Structure 1
Amino acid sequence: MDTGWQLFILFGLIRISRSYENLALHKKAWQRYPFHTTPWAADLAVDGRYTNLSASGEQCAISEAERFIAEWRVDLGKVFSIQSVKIRHRTENLPWDGASQYPSRFLGFSVYISNTTNKDDGTLCFKDTKFTVNTIPNPVNIPCRIDGRYVTFYNERFHPPYPIGYSTHAFADLCEVEVYGFRIPGFYGKSCSIPCPKNCHERYCDIVSGACRGCDVGYVGPKCDEPCSTGYYGYNCLDTCSINCGVPYRCNRVTGQCEGGCQLGWKGTTCDTACSTGYYGYNCQEKCSINCDVPGRCNRVTGRCDDGCQMGWKGTTCDAECEGTFGDNCSNPCGFCFGKEHCHPLNGTCMNGCDIGYKGQQCTQMCNNNTYGANCSLTCGNCRNLDEQCHHVTGECPRGCIPGFTGELCSVLKEGNPYLFPVIYASSAVLGVIFLLVIIIVVKRKLSCVRRHDQAPAYKPDKVYYNVGEDQACTYELEAAPESAHIYDLMN
């Protein structure tokens, strides 16, 4: 056979194999209220047999009588692109018309397509509101171009009154349920040969028109070929980019991640989370200062401490220690510390003492009380006004010296000073008085020793020692002398 014909036949077989298939055949089925005997189980509605539509034919799934809810479901095994659902109802092989009781049981039914066993999680594909016992077809073909895994037949009789012809109770007497669609997802068209648009969510699309069931994040439009407009992102472009983006409302159309990161004080992929307490700045990477008045509490944008700084610190973020100042917000100037050193940032004390001419813990007091120099340990000279303080650093007298003195410190006597001789005379007189007092004291002590000698025993040793008190001894040696010798001779 010609190779071209072989390819043509092969292509035709492929196209035929992709036509609509009954996806429900021999799949697992379930019924809410099955009839109490086994011949009418739920899976009989997907066994592919429908030649006998009566209970006795054992080809139908029949629900329990006198119930107000009827529900039957088939599990296709996975999500498929569904095109239509075909339902054959029980007839007992009688004519299907108003004279039969079975059309009334069928009226008002619904069909749901879902991806879970809960029909309400899915899509209502069809709801009968118009059929009558004379118009409802059997079988009934329902166009239902939806992607899903579970197909549910549902009917109820909970809210009377119902239209004329409706049965009193709900039934699910189903002889065959066929679900047609493509077994291979991602294609559409009559022969299932056209790929779904690339941005369709999970490549599912309407198997007839090719319209996407949903778009991948970041795209919109019937065929999902339109990217999200600026400022929007996510599924169906329903999410808005954050105003807190580095460039407000500019973000990735798929993830929502902000372009240029976040503005100061915000963090997260979409910049929708404010900085945690204790952090601030770009992506909240900076820590608030421990030197804040309330440690670790600051503005999440600027890092500025909420209640200012602790004593001894300054700056917007309280990260600079006081220099040349101290106290609250470093508002107090240091005193005159030794070597121009900085004082203690908390209490202002000079840690190595004061500079020349100053005193006190904070070295803010100038020398006074006629003192000057290092530690105010030097005495001022003879300044003109005796009550006038000399310069606290140099000791110089601000108005000069008193008459008779000269020098930078007024401590040098001038030559020919008219006050010199009176001073000498006064000094000599003082020295003379002191000398005279010393002589008198010595003489008194000697006389005291002689009196004690006269009161001593008759014998006269060569040397006699007298005590004149507890602190001093009378140690004068008296040589043997005539009794008639005068006391003053002894003193000589």
Structure 2
Amino acid sequence: MGGIVWLLCCDFAVFLTTSLASAYDNIAFGKSAWQQHPYGEILLFSFSRQDVPDWKSATWRRSRFPVRYYYSTEHWKAYKAVDGAFTDLSANGYQCTVSENAKQTATLWVDLGRILSIRYITIYYRTENEEWDFSNQYTKRFLGFSVHISNSTNREDGILCFKDTNYTRATIPNPAKIECLKYGRYVIYYNERIQGVTYPDGYSKYAFNELCELQVYGCPTSGVFGENCNVPCPQNCQEGHCNIVDGTCLGCVAGYKGSRCEEECDNNRYGFECKLICGNCSDGEQCDHVNGSCPNGCDFGSQGDICDKECPVGRFGFNCQDICSINCGVPGTCNRVTGQCEGGCQKGWKDMQCDKKCDRGMFGLNCNQSCGVCLGNEQCHHINETCMDGCDKGYQGMNCAQACPNGLHGYNCDETCSADCLVQKSCDAITGQCSACPNGLHGYNCDETCSADCLVQKSCDAITGQCSVISSDSETNSQCYPSLYGVVSTLCLSLALNIFLLIWISRNRVCKGMCQEEKSTKQLSTEHSKPNTEIYDKVEDNAGYQELGQISQPSHYDKLH
């Protein structure tokens, strides 16, 4: 019954493999192959590390390692696994590879000649033409095998296509069909029985390589996919390789992602599989998706082709173009991004980058000291406080912070106070005006004499010269009390105006009466044709009226003193 099941399974596997692989070529057929520990290998020669024969040139050559020469029979060499003959699965049929006994590892690889896309791999294992079931002793040798795809003969350089971890002597198939949608140049069969490692029940004690045929189905040319291998792979597939069935890329060229490698890297990533992280590009923009370069240069604090290097000491800013200030607390040392000086600024400098001198009347460390009184209130030297053009009035010294001593005044205290100043030639340090004058003197330099009419020792105000006390018999009181004369003058003017107004009103009334009498006289003259002289006599006899502007009698105002 078991034999019938095995035959059915075997026939189904062959049918399935044939139907699936019929559209693809066996790209391993007739290719170069190699196996580890071939059976029948005989050691012919062994040489130490010294001189060894060079058979081609018939000379001796130096060797760093021991050299051994073997002979191996042709019956079971590696090429037997790719010669297309597998009708006889026994050793004596000479269609299978056979490896040496008692070995811990067994390896066989096939070189496809170049990197190609693979669909399936089929392995026919040695059966000695006996029924393939639990009772077949070769099943335990086949258990635990693995298949690798690599671009070198080292399986560890490639990828694992299949590893048996579940089969038993009753379930392991033969032929074994392996779906392997990979691409590579070398197809490597491997098995091991490492001493000291515990393997599942049913495994053989040693590793064997007894492949009767290793078939690799895929496209014979690269860069295509489909059942007829006539559809080009997407443009950005890595090395032009894609899934042999649906055309999805098995890897993307640098800078692209997605199943068909149609999307550029983003999110600040670039390179193969978009695994690399962009540098510090200007304004945080995306770097070139392929090579990582920054299209608009590096952001503040970075440099290099991909802006992945920090500014060196002494430089900062955009593309590290700026130089740290020598006025920093530590000269030439600053923050690589902002340029802010480390340790603050040296004396006389301020701001974050210590690139501005102290101003507004300040100097020194941190610009927290006040300048002296420089000429014209100009800024002192930002470091040492000196006034470049000297001191303003009233001050002296290198920093113009010292007031003039007694007796001196003016610019840089170069002028002497007047000798007439009362207190030790003391005067105002700025104007030079005496602080006090001796009795009897006044004025800017105490060089003017107080009025002789001042009552107390000719004492007067040192600045205005006004008497402190006025003499009672002074005839020149106007010199002492100018304000009194102002008041008197105002009163006199007012009195004169009032008198003039009264006279004008009186004369106006007299003139009006005379005009009326003259009119009456003319009427009488007309009537009697004789002038009336009485009227004129009366008028002339009136002592109160004379010509306009004249007063016959003295006015009582003339008596005002």
Fold match by TM threshold 0.5? yes
1:20 is matched with which residue?
24
Of the three residues 10, 18, 32, the one matched with 2:36 is 32
From the superposition, tell whether residues 197 and 315 of structure 1 become closer, same or farther in structure 2 (CA, over 3 Å): same
2:406 is matched with which residue?
369
How far does residue 210 in structure 1 lie from its aligned partner after superposition? 1.6
Secondary structure, aligned partner of 2:147 = strand
- CA deviations 1:229-256 (Å, max 9, x no partner) are 76665544556778x6655585555556
How far does residue 119 in structure 1 lie from its aligned partner after superposition? 2.0
1:108 is matched with which residue?
144
Asked if the contact 1:305/1:316 (under 8 Å) is kept, the reply is: yes
2:316 is matched with which residue?
280
Q: Percent identity?
A: 48
Q: How does 1:61-460 map to 2 (within 5 A)?
A: 61-92=97-128, 96-133=132-169, 136-158=172-194, 159-164=197-202, 166-226=203-263, 234-237=271-274, 253-254=289-290, 264-267=300-303, 274-323=310-359, 324-338=361-375, 342-351=379-388, 353-382=390-419, 385-387=422-424, 389-399=426-436, 401-403=437-439, 405=441, 408-411=444-447
How far apart, in 1, do the equivalents of 2:301 and 2:111 lie? 51
Asked if the contact 1:280/1:286 (under 8 Å) is kept, the reply is: yes
Asked if the contact 1:382/1:405 (under 8 Å) is kept, the reply is: no
Asked if the contact 1:383/1:390 (under 8 Å) is kept, the reply is: no
Asked if the contact 2:325/2:332 (under 8 Å) is kept, the reply is: yes
Secondary structure, aligned partner of 1:376 = coil
- Residue 101 of structure 1 aligns with an amino acid whose one-letter code is Q
How far does residue 81 in structure 1 lie from its aligned partner after superposition? 0.6
Asked if the contact 2:406/2:427 (under 8 Å) is kept, the reply is: no
Asked if the contact 1:382/1:402 (under 8 Å) is kept, the reply is: no
Secondary structure, aligned partner of 2:200 = coil
Question: What count of residue pairs does the alignment treat as equivalent?
Answer: 399
How far apart, in 2, do the equivalents of 1:64 and 1:100 lie? 19
How far apart, in 1, do the equivalents of 2:412 and 2:274 lie? 80
How far apart, in 2, do the equivalents of 1:376 and 1:142 lie? 109
Asked if the contact 1:46/1:178 (under 8 Å) is kept, the reply is: yes
How far does residue 342 in structure 1 lie from its aligned partner after superposition? 4.2
How far apart, in 2, do the equivalents of 1:118 and 1:151 lie? 10
Asked if the contact 1:83/1:145 (under 8 Å) is kept, the reply is: yes
How far apart, in 2, do the equivalents of 1:186 and 1:19 lie? 17
2:515 is matched with which residue?
none
Asked if the contact 2:325/2:354 (under 8 Å) is kept, the reply is: yes
Secondary structure, aligned partner of 2:354 = coil
How far does residue 311 in structure 1 lie from its aligned partner after superposition? 0.5
Asked if the contact 1:30/1:74 (under 8 Å) is kept, the reply is: yes
Is 331-340 or 171-180 further displaced after alignment?
Answer: 331-340
- Residue 366 of structure 1 aligns with an amino acid whose one-letter code is A
Asked if the contact 1:241/1:249 (under 8 Å) is kept, the reply is: no
Asked if the contact 2:117/2:222 (under 8 Å) is kept, the reply is: yes
- Residue 38 of structure 2 aligns with an amino acid whose one-letter code is P
Asked if the contact 2:406/2:425 (under 8 Å) is kept, the reply is: no
How far apart, in 1, do the equivalents of 2:38 and 2:270 lie? 48
Secondary structure, aligned partner of 1:45 = helix
- Residue 360 of structure 1 aligns with an amino acid whose one-letter code is G
2:506 is matched with which residue?
none
How far apart, in 2, do the equivalents of 1:239 and 1:249 lie? 15
How far apart, in 2, do the equivalents of 1:186 and 1:223 lie? 13
From the superposition, tell whether residues 407 and 135 of structure 1 become closer, same or farther in structure 2 (CA, over 3 Å): closer
RMSD: 3.7
Unaligned runs of 5+ in 2: 1-21, 43-71, 459-561
Asked if the contact 1:297/1:306 (under 8 Å) is kept, the reply is: yes
Asked if the contact 1:281/1:300 (under 8 Å) is kept, the reply is: yes
Secondary structure, aligned partner of 1:73 = strand
